[in-house]
């Protein structure tokens, strides 16, 4: 890949760039285990979807970036085994050097590979799949195709969750979301767009998810106490967008 990897720092925040101003990941230097960018916080709403102390035990992350999601899960979900697929070895090196990516082969496996090829060639199943992979021009390539999303569904355990970072800035996200929805038989939901233009989509397999909004807020408060991550604003934005008719979250 012909792009440079740039590390910048401003106002206590270190950011990763692929030869442009586009931020590929960020870390507040004084809080390296916390999620800095809004869309990464929204992706973690996937953790509220299953009221199960064993969820998630097996997680696949496609795209490493500044390792924000990886570090959050590693720190706060000690029973989870994480597999990270990153196509560019230099990104892994930068995450280790500048963003405190843990070195723990027992719990955290780093695979240098194309995410779409990895999904196609491996039959291991996961409870949670997080997709956040873009090139230097902010294009997801094969990671935003119907076959890829169908393979993601095939790689999820029963009661599994998929969370995808979609960019809604240029051509919009609706075609991408439609591909996800088709792959999951309409069991998909897009969050209202973040200020950054990112749109997070969730999709589910297995038992239908029906959670009272008030119960989700209780779970969000418990998560905030446990991890420091506050998802109450995310739930409020869902409520304001009328995504939870009858005060019931369904997926």
Q: Which two tokens stand for residue 223?
A: 């998560």
Predicted confidence band of residue 85 (pLDDT cuts 50, 70, 90):
very high
| Residue position matching structure tokens 């491996």 | 122
Tell me which of 12-16, 107-111, 227-231, 247-251 is least confident: 247-251
Average pLDDT along the chain: 92
Above 80 in pLDDT, residue 66?
yes
Q: DSSP assignment, residue 87?
A: S
Q: Which two tokens stand for residue 34?
A: 């916390």
CA within 13 Å, CB half, 168 = 18
Q: Mean pLDDT over residues 30-34, rounded?
A: 96
| Residue position matching structure tokens 């999951």 | 184
Q: DSSP assignment, residue 212?
A: E
Q: Where do the structural domains in the chain lie, given as residue ranges?
A: 38-234
Which pairing describes strands 198-204 and 156-167: parallel, antiparallel, or unpaired? antiparallel
Above 60 in pLDDT, residue 136?
no
Q: What is the pLDDT of residue 215?
A: 94
Q: Which CATH architecture has domain 38-234?
A: 3-Layer(aba) Sandwich (3.40)
Q: What is the rounded distance in angstroms from the CA atom of residue 232 to the CA atom of residue 219?
A: 10
- pTM of this structure: 0.95
The more confident residue out of 119 and 168 is 119
Above 60 in pLDDT, residue 1?
no
Sheet holding 23-28, edge to edge: 6-10, 13-17, 23-28
Query: In percent, how much of the chain has pLDDT > 90?
Result: 77
Q: Is 157 in contact with 163 (CB distance < 8 Å)?
A: no
Above 60 in pLDDT, residue 207?
yes
Q: Mean pLDDT over residues 81-93, rounded?
A: 96
Which pairing describes strands 58-62 and 126-131: parallel, antiparallel, or unpaired? parallel
Tell me which of 35-49, 55-69, 101-115, 232-246 is least confident: 232-246
H/E run at residue 8: strand 6-10
């Amino acid at each position: 890949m012909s792009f440079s990897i740039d590390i910048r720092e401003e106002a206590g925040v270190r950011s990763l760039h692929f030869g442009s101003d586009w931020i590929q990941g960020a870390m507040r230097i004084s809080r390296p285990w916390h999620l800095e960018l809004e869309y990464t916080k929204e992706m973690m709403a996937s953790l509220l979807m299953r009221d199960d102390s064993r969820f998630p035990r097996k997680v696949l992350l496609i795209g490493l970036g500044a390792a924000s999601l990886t570090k959050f899960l590693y720190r706060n979900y000690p029973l989870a085994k994480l597999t990270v697929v990153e196509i560019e070895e230099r990104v892994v090196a930068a995450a280790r050097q500048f963003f405190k990516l843990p070195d723990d082969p027992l719990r955290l496996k780093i695979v240098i590979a194309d995410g779409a090829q990895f999904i196609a060639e491996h039959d291991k199943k996961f409870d949670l799949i997080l997709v956040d992979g873009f090139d230097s021009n902010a294009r997801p390539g094969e990671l935003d195709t119907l076959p890829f999303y169908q393979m993601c569904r095939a790689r999820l355990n029963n009661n599994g969750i998929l969370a995808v970072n979609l960019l809604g800035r240029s051509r919009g996200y609706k075609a991408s979301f439609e591909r996800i929805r088709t792959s999951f038989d309409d069991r998909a939901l897009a969050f209202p767009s973040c200020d950054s233009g990112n749109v997070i989509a969730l999709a589910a397999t297995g038992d239908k998810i029906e959670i009272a909004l008030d119960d989700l807020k209780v779970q969000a408060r418990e998560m905030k106490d446990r991890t420091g991550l506050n998802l109450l604003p995310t739930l409020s934005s869902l409520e304001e967008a009328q995504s939870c008719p009858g005060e019931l979250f369904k997926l």
